[in-house]
Amino acid sequence: MKFAIIKERKNPPDRRVVFSPAKLIEAKTKFPKAEFVVESSDIRVFSDEAYANKGFEVTEDVTDCDVMIGVKEVPIKALIPNKTYFFFSHTIKKQPYNRKLLQAILEKNIELYDHETIVNDKGFRLIGFGRYAGIVGAYNGFRAWGLKYDAWNLPKAGPLPNQAALIEELKRIELPNIKILLTGSGKVSNGAQEMLDAMHVKLVSVDDYLSQDFNEPVYCKIDVLDYNKRLDGTEVTDVFDFFNHPEKYESNFMRFAKVTDYYIAGHFYGDSAPYLYTREDVKSLDFNIKVVADISCDVDGPVATTLRASTIADPIYGYDPETETEIDFKDDRAITVMAVDNLPCELPQDASEGFGEMFLEHVIPAFFNNDKDGILTRAKITENGKLTNRFSYLQDYVDGVE
């Protein structure tokens, strides 16, 4: 089996890669029958020389490889027919902008596996960049606060080498006695929590957060049952009741918005779930949030202040509650919003190393153990020019039927 670490060709350039040189050495050691080739790249966070120095072939031509492993979407012109590909295709939610990509994958008889579809037997994702989105998102939120209030001037995350460097920058700032709210329970929110803990911000309970004032900065981490309540008033402790019946709930987030200064959105938002807060909620005098780091970045969705995704180059904008429009983030009326939708790109080395660890643990073994855990079977989107049964719901999307 011959694997190719392919060059990232999507714009803007993405410096991440699935396997660092060190992790590729580990993969080769664990699976000596696997052959790994690296497609030459001038943008990758690890240089061609770094791979060559570890003994890997670096080449411009990977057409003789069986499995192509990348990060972002592969441009249609660069797709090699009759190959197996791994990358984030952004098609499984029927994203209109990638319909032609999936059509081309089928036409070219490509076997597609999307990193998002690599799940365990309970449907939980096994690999992803979520932790690094959380790390950078929390940092960028503090950077936005400093810029809004001229309190500090943190450098952009991108030029800094790793998470440790971000933490060192954050440790230099002196936080006011603000209340920080973090939503979520997965990799994204855990990544953000790592940063708060590294800064020694005190974690407090929901009850204390809602009822007490503090003479130091504090944060509270909440999950779906903390900010949603049953319409019928029933007290629920099982989160699966919410996941299975989101339409039976309404948001209870405003009790947190009333006492929060800086909000970090690290939750997963499911279809039919209530919005955390609406545009009308933001108009309320009880809405106290001043800075939002929306890592989840569902545009015009459950976090109503997120009008659009921002960019690494220009990550911050302001939201005017009264006009529901974008204004300068330093305006006194503005809620400051950071909503970059590709945050892990700002931490390419750490993100690549962490991603490779997960890919080596869960995916590569499946090629050599007859896929005994069903990893590849569940993740496969296309085969023999057709959608697999698991992803047959995409047929109308492929056919162009809305």
Question: Choosing from 7, 72, 115, 179, which is the catalytic residue?
Answer: 72
Q: Which amino acid is at 335?
A: I
382 three-class SS: strand
- Kindly write down the DSSP assignment for every residue of 27-54, as one continuous string: HHHH-TT-EEEEE--SSSSS-HHHHHTT
Q: Tell me how far apart the alpha carbons of residues 74 and 72 are, in angstroms, rounded to a whole number.
A: 6
90 is catalytic: yes
72 flagged as catalytic: yes
Structure tokens at 253: 């987030």
Burial of 18 (0-12, 13-18, 19+ CB in 10 A): buried
d(CA 219, CA 196): 8
Question: What CA–CA distance (Å, rounded) separates 209 from 260?
Answer: 9
CA-closest candidate to residue 255, choices 289, 283, 218: 289
Give the three-state DSSP class for 111.
Answer: strand
- Residue 102 CA to its chain's centroid (Å): 22
Kindly report the number of other CB atoms within 10 A of residue 72's CB atom: 19
Looking up tokens 């069903």 gives 374
Residues forming a β-bridge with 327 = 318
C-beta separation of 134 from 121 below 8 A: no
Task: Determine which one of 54, 90, 108, 258 is catalytic.
Answer: 90
Phi-psi region of 184 (alpha: psi -120 to 50; beta: other; left: phi over 0): left
Residues that are catalytic? 72, 90
